[in-house]
Structure 1
């Protein structure tokens, strides 16, 4: 032991512990929601009628640079979703006769949706487990956006980068 060391005695006061921020904020789990992403991305929803042809859908995919269209009725109610994958499957089934067919003949009618208050982690899990890449966002009966797997993964990657930066700053001081 160094000669300058002095063992603590009963009369010594315990050292006060300090923190750079409250423990509660270090432990908080602020969960990102669908609304976080929609507010950044925007709530644009691209739709098509079930009576339109697949040719019309393909042109919208190309012109809008998107991979799925929501199929709605005249009142805007969700009837299904049409994705690039749906069209590729139809091309394999009916080569050379696909583009004149209607959206109604090809769409996926069982559509998974989410709400603005859903946690992004749960939405990502549902998309991964269901093996689909597009999920409409509904607030009640109203369509208010569309999430893609790329949107959710990109948002989460940005969060992770920010968290890593915060950790580095805490360590460096």
Structure 2
């Protein structure tokens, strides 16, 4: 199983903003879309950064409400790990666990084509384990 399988099941729609957007705009998008992260893109649809709920809490807790009018480009995570459609589910899980992040943008030829979350990865892995268990039961029953 790979990331392509996850994207085919959930879709490839990614909510994005430009780094020039304000923190307040980002918070409105996060809340309005009920998502945990927004990918920030450059003019070539490449990943410029990412802003997560954790980033918002960190900035507001450190700077306070005056940060709401600041650009998210100043507070984004700029060194974003990405994967490709060919990345295996286990590799994606390893990246997310090791890096301690919950959202992984998917890129092809430097362009953003999707995003997966740790929830997507866990769901895919559970389905795979259940499928393997069913096959094993059928094999044993066929004797």
Q: TM-score range by the shorter chain?
A: over 0.9
Separation (CA, whole Å) in 2 of partners of 1:133 and 1:69: 12
- Structure 1 vs Structure 2 CA RMSD: 1.1
SS in 1 for 2:114: strand
Q: TM-score, normalised by structure 2?
A: 0.94
Q: TM-score, normalised by structure 1?
A: 0.79
Residue of structure 2 in register with 1:142 after alignment = 111
Structure whose alpha-carbon radius of gyration is higher: 1
Residue of structure 2 in register with 1:20 after alignment = none
Number of aligned residue pairs: 142
Q: 1:168 aligns with which of 107, 131, 137?
A: 137
User: How far has the Cα of 1:123 moved from its partner?
Assistant: 1.1
Separation (CA, whole Å) in 2 of partners of 1:43 and 1:84: 21
Residue of structure 2 in register with 1:45 after alignment = 14
For 1:20-99, what aligned pairs fall within 5 Å after superposition?
Answer: 32-99=1-68
Residue of structure 1 in register with 2:125 after alignment = 156
Instruction: Pick the structure with more helix per residue.
Output: 2
User: How far has the Cα of 1:76 moved from its partner?
Assistant: 1.9
Q: 1:127 aligns with which of 93, 96, 115?
A: 96
Q: Is the 8 A contact 2:44 2:111 kept in 1?
A: no
Separation (CA, whole Å) in 2 of partners of 1:40 and 1:60: 23
Q: Which has the higher contact order (CA 8 A, sep 6+)?
A: 2
Residue of structure 2 in register with 1:101 after alignment = 70
Separation (CA, whole Å) in 2 of partners of 1:162 and 1:124: 19
SS in 1 for 2:66: coil
Consecutive unaligned residues of structure 1, counting only runs of 5 or more, are 1-31
SS in 2 for 1:126: helix
User: How far has the Cα of 1:96 moved from its partner?
Assistant: 2.6
- Residues 136-155 of structure 1 show CA distances to partners (whole Å, capped at 9, x for unaligned) of 00011221100101100111
